Amino acid sequence: MREALAWAAAGRGQVHELFVTEVAAGRNQDLLHAAGAARIRISEITDRAAEGLSETVTPQGVIAVCDQVEVSLADALAGSPKLVAVLVGIADPGNAGTVVRVADAAGADAVIFAGDTVDVHNGKCVRASTGSVFHLPIARSRDTTTVLQACAEAGLRLVAADGNTDADLDAADDRGELATPTAWLFGSEAHGVPAEVLAAADSVLKVPIHGAAESLNLATAAAVCLYASARAQRRAAR
């Protein structure tokens, strides 16, 4: 909730109203004071109402009504981005929200939802992001080809994460490939990156697995890839 208020205070959107239970109001006085100072309407609700509004069994008791966080594709890719995460066809909201959180933590410039991907405003996606949906630009386009073209025109190298390729992340890092501005393309856990997207990528890399694990889940693989690029780019900038 604090992230939403900071997002609004920065002029990136508007928080229209806060709904709060009696118990939550008692333990979040600083948040309510900040909302009041920003002239945001505050309404007290019952615990049962909070469960319905938050779509979760154990709500925190504070719910905000905000503008949507999406920006245009052009705005998300403005300003010579260095690192972007592109979610292609990811249907699970928990996975999508966690990748947004990972991208935020790695210092990515934007996250783009491409193709038939879950809505970033899905309640589970927002919760899984733990506030990161308010921290960095997020765009959405149903046309994956348009997304890939926009990333390329922004000077980003298209790198797809795929566990079935021979080329791996470590070797690419050794060659200096990860130091260049990059758009990482991530697919769903069930189906991976679509074949046509793999064909359009400049490079397809896997996270090397040195132990006996069969594979990594989407969020873990995304964290490894994004942090590898962030580290390589910081090293190159020294």
| 53-58: long-range pairs with CB below 8 Å, 24+ | 53/19, 54/123, 55/123, 55/124, 56/123, 56/127
For residue 101, which of 117, 81, 79, 124 has the smallest C-alpha distance? 124
Containing 160, the helix (H) or strand (E) segment is strand 157-161
Instruction: Give the domain 2-66 fold.
Output: 60s Ribosomal Protein L30; Chain: A; (3.30.1330)
User: Would 2-66 and 70-237 be classified into the same CATH topology?
Assistant: no
pLDDT of the residue at 171: 94
Residue extents of the structural domains in the chain? 2-66, 70-237
For residue 132, which of 154, 108, 161 has the smallest C-alpha distance? 108
**Distance, CA of 84 to CA of 141 (rounded, Å):** 15
CB atoms under 10 Å from CB of 97, counted, come to 25
Instruction: Give the domain 70-237 fold.
Output: Alpha/beta knot (3.40.1280)
pTM score: 0.91
Per-residue pLDDT in tens (0 to 9) along the chain, 238 residues = 788 989 988 889 999 998 989 898 888 888 889 888 889 999 998 888 888 787 766 677 888 899 999 999 999 999 999 999 999 999 999 999 999 999 999 999 999 999 999 999 998 999 999 999 999 999 999 999 999 999 999 999 999 999 999 999 999 999 999 999 999 999 998 889 999 999 999 999 999 999 999 889 999 999 999 999 999 999 998 8
